[in-house]
Structure 1
């Protein structure tokens, strides 16, 4: 009787021990699953991002803006974010109407490219007041918003102007320089022109003989350059705030037989045509901020704001993109490649 009882007790003890071990093992596995930090992090990301809506209103869908849009769409499709695009085709009234309409549709994020410092200012504030987070790209408004993505525009102006001084200052030519602005009331043009002018005026050997808006138009730039060359046949340099508009000016210089004599320095978003102009000797130097990398920065700004629980209008983040000198074919990597359809 005692032997049987001892055997039964041993089996009972063994069973209890096994059950305890099993319970501990199952509990450990469950706890491990419940506290997996990487899984929790991804779930938080999915919750914050997936199914959200981003509205995008550029000034138009040119080469630059199309590249931004391409990069955004590729990422947003992957993350499950809906992208709404409105193209005003360079019509300010249409852009203002598009922004106003989208605010009423309540997207989670509104992205804009401002044609001037004032056109969209009130609507951007209204968007934030209604709970929509706002990102401005490359051309800012007087109204600060949740984030800015783009070039450090004054720095672009200073860097380009310093190159002009090195080339045309100190008796290395007439010292005469013409500035080709963009749209007269666009922050990008205003800020770059102001910074460049300060550098140029700081050198007594440099004389700014013209500083005129071109409205981002190559034909207008050609007209301005034609007049400047007629009045200043010994012009040493041209400073332009944007590559594509400068194509017209470069052609005028070439037709006048002054290619290589009149040095042309341009700020560029990295369009392939701007690299072509450098390689053909039509541009002297191109300072590129690469639209494709700016597109990546726009996506990062969107992801940051979607994961930030603070309400619209409480942050003022900045994502400044890096500038790259393009002076020949060896620098081709600093211009983006437009994908074939």
Structure 2
């Protein structure tokens, strides 16, 4: 008997039998996924819809949610805390109400009671970008203390040992968590460099015109400043304009933070308006957000019973660090490219 041919034939029969069994079975995953997610509702309430962060989150969420058969909607408080609270109230009381509520909180406390009420009605609550004094089902965003440390290190490096060692801050406000924690991180680093001093620290209230005005005054009163840390790229355009008008672009380093959008961050790094940007990696945050939404809707876990923190991996980018994929483009994203 030719044993080699016998074993080859036996192996062939076994493979055919296995293939027939595999083709007869179905992967249970897609059906379970569809059953848990189809028809679910997700709502986004940012601080406003008219800026790149909100537009980016909305575009990424809409693509995913509608892709798995859900419904996505937004509300635009347009920077009004009262309008934001009303929007959240309306969503909680809606029939049907959202299954997941994504909120960009303006401060630590304003929405806390409302968001707790949302969880009580069976709505998962995700805080994006800004922490709050509320145990959300998930927080996704920056460790703002760590981000402030990265900004301060970039400013110290840009100034150099032979500089005036005078640093100015353009803060956001005194109630927003991102501003408060960012400041704390900056001061932790500067404590390691006792020769460096913060000589001015006005608030911009997240407004580019205000940032421009306070920076103009800052430079008039402190003409030897070597670096300014602005707490958000949305108002850093005003700070950059004041530096340029004073004839000091390239002489005063401007460090800020942003979501990594092309025109808001990479283009300004390339032009020299910004010296360094600590990006909050919006596209990665959005991926984390979508993954958590899909998990929570399948978990069977009741809203308000646990809290997850997912922090963005961040770095300070300079002009030399820019690559084709460093930034995302809000117009291309909205166009579906």
In structure 2, how many angstroms separate the alpha carbons of the residues matched to 1:240 and 1:144? 29
Q: 1:50 aligns with which of 38, 52, 55?
A: 38
1:156 aligned to 2:147?
yes
In structure 2, how many angstroms separate the alpha carbons of the residues matched to 1:230 and 1:271? 31
Residue-by-residue CA offset, 1:284-341 (whole Å, 9 max, x unaligned): 1111122222222211121111111111111211222222433126514221112344
In structure 2, how many angstroms separate the alpha carbons of the residues matched to 1:30 and 1:329? 52
Show the counterpart of 1:315: 306
Query: Is the CA contact 1:267–1:288 (under 8 Å) kept in the aligned structure 2?
Result: yes
1:66 aligned to 2:55?
yes
TM-score by length of 1: 0.86
> Highest Rg: 1 or 2?
1
Q: 2:251 aligns with which of 253, 261, 268?
A: 261
Q: 1:66 to 1:31 in 2, by over 3 A?
A: closer
Show the counterpart of 2:4: none
Show the counterpart of 1:335: 327
**TM alignment of 1:188-267, pairs within 5 A:** 188-267=178-257
5+ residue gaps, structure 2, are: 1-16
Residue-by-residue CA offset, 1:243-298 (whole Å, 9 max, x unaligned): 12111111111111111111111111112222111111111111112222222221
5+ residue gaps, structure 1, are: 1-24
In structure 2, how many angstroms separate the alpha carbons of the residues matched to 1:148 and 1:206? 34
Query: Is the CA contact 2:150–2:316 (under 8 Å) kept in the aligned structure 1?
Result: no
After TM superposition, what 4+ stretches of structure 1 lie above 6 angstroms from structure 2? none
Show the counterpart of 2:164: 174
Residue-by-residue CA offset, 1:16-59 (whole Å, 9 max, x unaligned): xxxxxxxxx9xx969953xx4xx212221111111111111111
**TM alignment of 1:92-131, pairs within 5 A:** 92-105=81-94, 106-131=97-122
In structure 1, how many angstroms separate the alpha carbons of the residues matched to 2:119 and 2:89? 12
Query: Is the CA contact 2:55–2:330 (under 8 Å) kept in the aligned structure 1?
Result: no
